[in-house]
Amino acid sequence: MNYQVLARKWRPHNFTEVVGQEHIVKSLMNALQHGRLHHAYLFTGTRGVGKTTIARILAKAINCEDLQDFNPCGVCSVCRDLDEGRFLDLIEVDAASRTKVDDTRELMDNVQYAPSHGRYKVYLIDEVHMLSGHSFNALLKTLEEPPPHVKFLLATTDPHKIPVTVLSRCLQFNLKRLLPGQIFSQMEFILKQESIDSEAAALKLLSRAADGSMRDGLSLLDQAIVYGNGKVTAEDVRAMLGTVAQQPVEDILAALAKSDAATILDKINEIANLTPDFSGVLQQILQVLHRIALVQQIPAAINHDFDADMITALSPLFTPEDVQLYYQIGLVGQRDLDLAPDPRSGFEMVMLRMLTFRPVAVESTPIKQVQMRQAVNKTDPQPVYHPLESGQPAIVGEKIPEKIAIPKPDTNWADMIAAMKINGLTRELANNCVIENIDDTVCTLTLNPGHKQLRSARTEENLLKALQAYRGTSLKLVIKTGQTTVDTPAVQLTKEREDKQQAAIEAINSDENVQALKEHFDARVMPGTIEPV
């Protein structure tokens, strides 16, 4: 009846046993090696990743009588007492149950006394963010300048609730969420030591359900052992978790790649017989799509995935664009799943939405390069290929001339501006010029003196390029400043607008209905309200 749960029994007792927090372990061991120990450490991270465990190992290491490669030896009196929970110089405080300022003051009153057995007196305050504001204030001064024989080790899951004045006095370490592969390897090791039979598929399901927490994973493993009567099988784990195996997810994605709606609905029907959590199934699909997207961009990423065979089989079936589209549809669908009439219908609609909005693939016919070795009659236009930029089949038609037809000498300058399709300041510069002469070698323009500020190297260069493209020759551009004898296009546009405005005003004033309103109702037309259509 004295059974100890796996999470406590297999809690690490030294730095080498810690899983998944190598960046923290390396920093602490280097600090022990060079004697550069900070007086206050803050360990942050989600639940079950090893915050309190690493703090206890550090407390053991700084008091150990015989460090082995800067690791606690585990056999000296300090290590044994600390493992058995009777080391007097380690004061563990649960801040969640001691939030009052009086509790903190009582704790700080004993800081001045020297340790009774170890080298340092260590205060380990768990869930420190639960302390009240006054408790933090009572802790501040001692935390900043503690006696040389005192070390503070703080742990929290929510560092944002800790005052910045406390954060600035601590050396902060952020613990990472554990990867499913790391949890899987630790479970496999523990079950081998416990001589318990297990299936790899079952451990994979438990590793994902742990959601990055080793403690949650080992608690689920304890539950699976009891549920399976001493064995851990995939079928028992699926029944216990109310989830489905990875195989139906793989089958659904394979059918999705083939646009096979019937197979997808059949698989959903099979899954429904297991009374699963459809939100969890959709989450599994999103996880697989995420790993497929990673592998498509970085093939080496598959080396760290224990579902490598499935990812390798699925990734060639999808284009990167489809993966991104399906992931976004699934992500939005997961958010809206609770709004559906029932989870199954909501999940089915997400899958059908993926099928509906999948882009239609356009088959492109490769164009063969043909070497024209026969004599070509210059008078007959020859068919040529014009491949489209989008990769669609090329269009066969008559040869398109590379140059735009040269306009007639009497072409209107305003018409030329419209044909060149220029805009911005370049168009304003052109509109305020008149053309004096243009041929295949030079174009001479006269600019109205009131708009000489429009001239710049950039606008003249853009106008020159547009003229060269329009004429099809490498002509030069000359712009003079002076009074023009004819109206510029800008003046012409202004006059046209004024004429249209005047015509609109006259049309309103001469309208019979408007005149009747003026006579019978003393109405008047508001100035500035008339605009030409």
Least confident of 199-208, 383-392, 453-462, 480-489: 383-392
Which parts of 335-488 are beta strand (E)? 383-386, 395-398, 433-438, 442-447, 476-481
Q: What are phi and psi of 173, to 5 degrees?
A: -125, 125
CATH number, residue 417: 3.30.300.150
Token digits for 314? 């699925």
CATH number, residue 78: 3.40.50.300
Q: How sure is the predictor about 303, in pLDDT bands with cuts at 50, 70 and 90?
A: low
Last residue of a domain, one of 143, 174, 205: 174
Instruction: Encode pLDDT of 450-502 as tens digits.
Output: 888 888 888 888 899 898 888 888 888 899 888 888 888 888 888 888 888 88
Whether 367 contacts 387, CB under 8 Å: yes
Is the domain of 418 the same as that of 479? yes
Read off the pLDDT of each residue in 50-74 and give the average, rounded to a whole number.
90
Last residue of a domain, one of 464, 486, 508: 486
- What is the structure's pLDDT at 244? 57
CATH number, residue 194: 1.10.8.60
Is the domain of 438 the same as that of 304? no
- What is the structure's pLDDT at 383? 43
Is the domain of 10 the same as that of 154? yes
Is the domain of 281 the same as that of 156? no
Question: Which of 36-45, 137-146, 297-306 is predicted most confidently?
Answer: 36-45
- What is the structure's pLDDT at 275? 59
Least confident of 151-165, 296-310, 323-337, 431-445: 296-310
For the cut 60, the answer to whether the pLDDT of residue 156 exceeds it is: yes
Read off the pLDDT of each residue in 62-85 and give the average, rounded to a whole number.
88
Residue 386 forms part of a structural domain: no
Residue 13 forms part of a structural domain: yes
Distances in Å between the Cα of 276 and the Cα atoms of 140, 272, 343 are 50, 6, 10
Residue 185 forms part of a structural domain: yes
Q: What are phi and psi of 70, to 5 degrees?
A: 60, 30
For the cut 80, the answer to whether the pLDDT of residue 242 exceeds it is: no
Radius of gyration from C-alpha coordinates of the chain: 40
Is the domain of 34 the same as that of 141? yes
Q: How sure is the predictor about 403, in pLDDT bands with cuts at 50, 70 and 90?
A: very low
Last residue of a domain, one of 287, 322, 355: 355
CATH number, residue 263: 1.20.272.10
Whether 225 contacts 232, CB under 8 Å: yes
How high is the mean pLDDT of the chain?
83
Residue 371 forms part of a structural domain: no
Work out the widest C-alpha separation in the chain, in whole angstroms: 113
Give the residue numbers spanning the domain of 261.
246-355
For the cut 70, the answer to whether the pLDDT of residue 439 exceeds it is: yes
- What is the structure's pLDDT at 396? 40
Q: What are phi and psi of 4, to 5 degrees?
A: -110, 130
- What is the structure's pLDDT at 153? 93
d(CA 447, CA 455): 9
CA triple 116-117-122, angle to 5 deg: 80
- What is the structure's pLDDT at 99? 77
- What is the structure's pLDDT at 152? 93
Is the domain of 344 the same as that of 446? no
Read off the pLDDT of each residue in 309-318 and give the average, rounded to a whole number.
84
Least confident of 300-304, 319-323, 365-369, 407-411: 365-369
Helices marked H in 370-456 — which ranges? 413-420, 424-431
- What is the structure's pLDDT at 386? 43
Is the domain of 197 the same as that of 263? no
Q: How sure is the predictor about 360, in pLDDT bands with cuts at 50, 70 and 90?
A: low
Residue 368 forms part of a structural domain: no
For the cut 90, the answer to whether the pLDDT of residue 154 exceeds it is: yes
Instruction: Encode pLDDT of 445-460 as tens digits.
Output: 998 888 888 888 888 8
Is the domain of 145 the same as that of 204? no
Read off the pLDDT of each residue in 148-158 and give the average, rounded to a whole number.
92
Least confident of 46-60, 358-372, 462-476: 358-372
- What is the structure's pLDDT at 378? 42
Whether 52 contacts 90, CB under 8 Å: no
Residue 255 forms part of a structural domain: yes
Is the domain of 45 the same as that of 153? yes
Number of domains present in the structure of the chain = 4
Is the domain of 112 the same as that of 193? no
- What is the structure's pLDDT at 246? 59
- What is the structure's pLDDT at 211? 83
The β-bridge relationship of strands 383-386 and 395-398 is antiparallel
Is the domain of 301 the same as that of 237? no
Whether 201 contacts 245, CB under 8 Å: yes
Is the domain of 43 the same as that of 62? yes
Residue 149 forms part of a structural domain: yes
Q: What percent of the chain has pLDDT over 90?
A: 26
Residue 46 forms part of a structural domain: yes
- What is the structure's pLDDT at 387? 43
- What is the structure's pLDDT at 61? 92
Q: How sure is the predictor about 394, in pLDDT bands with cuts at 50, 70 and 90?
A: very low
